[in-house]
Structure 1
Amino acid sequence: MSLKTQLTDDMKAAMRAQDKARLGAIRLILAAVKQQEVDTRTEQSDSDIIATLTKMVKQRRDSISQFSAANRMDLVAQEQTELDVIQQYLPQALSEAEVAALISQAIQETGAATAQEMGKVMNWLKPKVQGRTDMGKLSGLIKAQLSA
């Protein structure tokens, strides 16, 4: 079953269960997916949807930190609820050991030796880790291995 179909089915289930928080979050996801389809004029694949979900997770995390700094716990709770629902549709996160192994493999296969060649490594890794790890942390780990 495609991710979009699963989202639609889960939205219907949330409607039947009258779970307003979950329903609202799923509607936000579907709206973002629909917006991407309108913008690109193409049907979104599962990998495209995962990219959209990853962006939404990053936005929610940023919002939570901003709302926490402003002491708006009501908004933090709402964003956290949305974040929890969005993360249910992302693939299982990679462990630090798995990420390190993938980075080593990428460096070996691309032949990258300096930090200037980091783009090669990122291009090799991105399709394998999309939605499964934080790309900012990944960038730092790659830089550390290339400069060592």
Structure 2
Amino acid sequence: MSVRDQIQDDTRTAMKQRDRTRVGALRMLGAALKNAEIEAGRPLTEQEEQTILRRQLKQRDESAEAFRNAGRQERAASESAEAEIVRSYLPEPLSQEKLGEIVDTAIDETGATGMRDMGTVMGRAMELSGGRAEGRELSALVRNRLQ
């Protein structure tokens, strides 16, 4: 079952339970996935779905922070709750130890010797992580290892 199908099923369940926060968050996720699928003109891969979910999570986190800074705690709490719902559909993030192993493998496979090879290493590391790692975390580790 794809993430999109799971979200549709969970939306129906949340509607029956009259959970407005969950229904709203799931509808937005479903719409984002559907729009991306229409734009692509084909069904999305699992990795593409995860990318969209990560983007939605980042938006919710940034919105919650902006509302907190503006003193709107109620809206910040709502955005944080939606972020948790989005997070529940993402795979468990990789540990720092596992990320380090992935970066080391990517460096070995690409034969990288310095910072000029960072793009190549990053591409391979992202492939090896299978979409379970944040780009900025990988980037920091790659930069640290190549310097």
Structure 1 segments unaligned to the other structure (5+ residues): none
Aligned to 1:80: 80
Structure 1 residue runs of 4 or more that deviate by more than 3 Å after TM superposition? none
Q: 2:138 corresponds to which letter in structure 1?
A: L
Once the two structures are superposed, residues 81-130 of structure 1 have per-residue CA deviations (whole angstroms, 9 ceiling, x without a partner) of 11000011101111111111111111111111111111111111213335
Once the two structures are TM-superposed, the CA of residue 9 in structure 1 deviates from its matched residue by 0.9
CA-based RMSD of the aligned residues comes to: 1.3
* 1:116 maps onto 2:116 in alignment: yes
Aligned to 1:137: 137
Report the TM-score when normalising by structure 2. 0.93
Q: Which SS does the other structure have where 1:93 is aligned? A: coil
Once the two structures are TM-superposed, the CA of residue 59 in structure 1 deviates from its matched residue by 1.4
Distance in 1 of aligned mates of 2:21 and 2:135: 28
Aligned to 1:42: 42
* 1:127 maps onto 2:112 in alignment: no
The number of equivalent residue pairs is 147
Structure with greater contact order relative to length (CA < 8 Å, sep ≥ 6): 1
Equivalent runs, 1:31-70 vs 2, <5 Å: 31-70=31-70
Report the TM-score when normalising by structure 1. 0.92
Aligned to 1:16: 16
Aligned to 1:89: 89
Once the two structures are TM-superposed, the CA of residue 35 in structure 1 deviates from its matched residue by 1.0
Aligned to 2:4: 4
Change (3 A) 1:46 1:107: same
Distance in 2 of aligned mates of 1:100 and 1:55: 24
Once the two structures are superposed, residues 40-62 of structure 1 have per-residue CA deviations (whole angstroms, 9 ceiling, x without a partner) of 22222222111100111111222
Change (3 A) 1:39 1:50: same
Question: Structure 1 vs Structure 2: percent identity of aligned residues?
Answer: 33
